[in-house]
Chains A and B, each alone.
Chain A
Amino acid sequence: EIVLTQSPGTLSLSPGERATLSCRASQSVSSSYLAWYQQKPGQAPRLLIYGASSRATGIPDRFSGSGSGTDFTLTISRLEPEDFAVYYCQQYGSSPVTFGQGTKLEIK
């Protein structure tokens, strides 16, 4: 199975700053079938990005995804207070579907 490793484990930033989250796969993710989710405490995850770079419906354009092969990035251009949460990547190009362990984005 494809193992996804997210880094850093915790990212401490201030509102208005730029956030860059990494997701590295143990083998190539076919057709860039990679998604990103945001999860706030006590809530279900919410889809942000699919196909490595396509924003889901209703997601602000400050969220962007990039990458291919084994290296993927989620970028939040200017952090808003509501963006502080845990972020997960998911690959769905190979069975089984796998998730990264998560990156916690916290307020500095």
Chain B
Amino acid sequence: EVQLVESGGGLVQPGGSLRLSCSASGFTFSSYAMHWVRQAPGKGLEYVSAISSNGGSTYYADSVKGRFTISRDNSKNTLYLQMSSLRAEDTAVYYCVKGPRQWLSMNWFDPWGQGTLVTVSS
């Protein structure tokens, strides 16, 4: 069974940093692109970032470019999202999701992790 388990969320002050992790199991992690999608409280879904299977290509939404860094460790089956210069509008549940392909494009998302809540507030 494919499983994605996020961790690392919490309360952080504006301007602070946080690193999210996503531990993957049940599939060959190094063969698939991985993605982060977030959902602000009571709002819809926003595509945040993606990384190709070998880590050679990355994508960032304009809203997080220059502040967030996605990475992966295929030896540990783990995906990361390093978030810095956090703002109140970054408050959301962050989901780790798997795509069906090695590359960044043409991906639907299945499955989704349970999500980890990031709250940016003073």
Partner-B contacts on A (CB < 8 A): 33, 35, 37, 44-47, 50-51, 56, 88, 90, 92-93, 95-102
**Chain A proximity of B70: nearest CB distance (Å):** 14
A88 to B110, CA, bound (A): 14
Using known A-B contacts A88-B45, A97-B47, A99-B45, determine if residue A44 contacts B113 with beta carbons closer than 8 Å: yes
A37 to B45, CA, bound (A): 11
Which residues does chain A contribute within 8 Å of B104, judged by CB atoms?
Answer: 95
A88 to B43, CA, bound (A): 11
- Given A44-B111, A47-B110, 9 new contacts (CB under 8 A): A33-B108, A35-B108, A35-B109, A46-B112, A47-B111, A90-B45, A92-B107, A96-B59, A101-B44
Residue of A nearest to B109 (CB): A47
Once the chains bind, are A47 and B46 in contact (CB under 8 Å)?
no
A98 to B105, CA, bound (A): 12
> Does B114 have its Cβ within 8 Å of any Cβ on chain A?
yes
Which residues does chain B contribute within 8 Å of A90, judged by CB atoms?
Answer: 45, 108-109
A74 to B72, CA, bound (A): 35
A48 to B47, CA, bound (A): 18
**Chain B proximity of A74: nearest CB distance (Å):** 14
